[in-house]
Amino acid sequence: MRGKLDRMTLGQRIAAARTKAGLTQIELANKLSVSRQAITKWENDRGVPDIENLKALATMFGVSLDYLLATEGEFSAKVWTEPIDVSQFTKTGTQRSRYDAAVRSKYPDAKVIYPLVRRRKLTTWEAIVDFVVQPGVLGVADSLKDRSAYYVVNLGDRDLLVNVTKEFIESKDLVHRFTERKKVIGENRFVKSTYTI
């Protein structure tokens, strides 16, 4: 059964995050340089912030854009982003890359860490074009564009989706456990690797 977070609209998420931050509508409006009426419209789902205001809201509230925009409620509001230099890590044991070493270093007490294979979920039209042009070409292009590594980290009581790049490590608290081998999260399809680190 899906939780209350899954049924929240964008407006309800903005209102909840604003309340949690201890801000009034007027205070939030002043911080964003918009009118209080704009905040009211957003929170009542009678209007939608533009992308710049969405980014500002996410930063201000310490949440991800995925959290604000998620219709499936895959992530809680907890998102941690930390700068790293992946070249400072050395792979050891079952680690196959510096990215593996970075995530294991960040979560040394994790019960298990599964590397994930990520593929962007194609729209119907993209899938048709992909099939006509050359099956798999859009997936390869997307993989070349996003060279980061993804992991599911089991901390015992919860799972995190972790993204490691050369410059940062971002962890998102998953609302639903990653118990199956394959899972669609937002616009991506993830498959657990056959090995753990």
Which is nearest to 143 in space by CA: 100, 174, 189, 181? 189
Angle at 10 between CA 31 and CA 63, to 5 degrees: 60
**Which two structure tokens, joined as six digits, stand for 115?**
């590397």
Secondary structure element (H or E) that encloses residue 10, with its range = helix 10-20
- The pLDDT of residue 2 is 38
User: Which range (1-5, 50-54, 124-128) has the least confidence?
Assistant: 1-5
Mean of pLDDT values over 52-64 = 85
When pLDDT is averaged across residues 62-85 and rounded to a whole number, the result is: 70
Q: What is the mean pLDDT of residues 4-27?
A: 82
Residues 104 and 101: their CA atoms lie apart, in Å, by 5
Q: What is each CA distance from 26 to 14, 40, 141, in whole angstroms?
A: 14, 10, 44
Determine how β-strand 159-164 pairs with β-strand 75-83: unpaired
- pLDDT tens digits, one per residue of 120-161: 776 777 678 767 777 776 666 556 566 789 999 999 888 899
Q: What is the pLDDT of residues 166-189, one digit of tens each?
A: 889 989 888 778 888 998 877 788
State the residue for tokens 């409620």: 73
pLDDT at 130: 65
